[in-house]
Structure 1
C-alpha cells in the first residue's frame, strides 16, 4: 500500500496473513524434505553395484592431478590409466576397484596413493518386443520396468502388458511387474498378446 504524506511517497508494510505464513512454512518444509531425499534421487553407487564394460568413471588420485580423469571400462572390463598396467575392474564394486587402482599405482611410481572412483554414466539396458521403439537406452538410476517401457515409447497395441521378462546375468526372470527394478545390461522383453 502506498500513501502520500506532504508530497513524499512513503511505503507501508502490510503484515502477512496467517494463511500465507502457513503456505510459506509448508514450502520451506517441502524443500527441506526434498534436500534430504536428494541422495536417493542420485544414481545408486552403493557398495553392491558391479562395474562392467561401458561404465563411465571419474577416477581421482589425490595429489596427482595428471592421473585423475574420466575413464570408460573397456569391453574386457579394464581401465587404462597412465603409468600402470590396465586394471581389471569389471565385476568389481567401487571399493574393490579403488583398491585395485591403488595397488597398481603403489606397484608403479606412487608410494601411498589415495584413490576415489565415482560413476558418471552407467552402461545401457536393452528393451525388445512389443514397445514402440525397441533398442538400447542409457540406464537411469532407480529405473523400473514401467520407466523403461516409457523410455522406449510405450507399449504397442499388441503388447501383452502382463507378460514381460527380464534377462539378467544369463538368467530369465518371468512374471515381471511394472515396478520391478531394472539394472544396466538387463534385456527386457515385452511379449505379444494373441487375440
Structure 2
C-alpha cells in the first residue's frame, strides 16, 4: 500500500502543488518552459509507475469496503468510454471542449467514478477515490471558466470516433497487459 500512496502523492500532489503554489511559473522562469515540462513529465511518470505498481501489489490482499452493485461494471464501461472521449476532446477545438472548458478533468471524474462503481476493494477506493477527489478540487481551483460559443464540428466527431477505438483497444489489449485482467 505504501507504493500506491507514495505514487498518488507524487502524481496528484505534484499536479496540485503546481496549481496552489505558483511553483510552475518560478521554475519555468529559471530553466525554461520545455525543460520544465520535461522535468515535470519525468516526476509525474515516476509517480504514475509507483501508483500502478502499488495498486497491483495491494489489490490482491485488499479487503472489500463495499460490494459493488451488479450494474457497476456496465456503468464503468459507459463512463470509461465517456472519459476517453472527453480526454481526447481536450486536444481538439470543438463544441465538447468549449462547453466543458476542462474536459480532461471531467474525463478523470467519469473514469474514477466508473471504477468506484465497479470495484469496492480498499485498493480501488484509495486509487480511484483519490483521482476523483483530485479532479473535483482541481476543477474548483480553476474557478469559473469562460465558455466559447463553438458549433459542433468534425473535431467533436473525431474525438468520439477515435475515443471509441481507443476505448476498445484499452479494454481488450492494454488493460490486460497493464492490469492483468480484461476490462470487458
Q: TM-score range by the shorter chain?
A: under 0.3
* TM-score (normalised: structure 1): 0.22
More helix by share: 2
Give 1 or 2 for the bigger CA radius of gyration.
Answer: 1
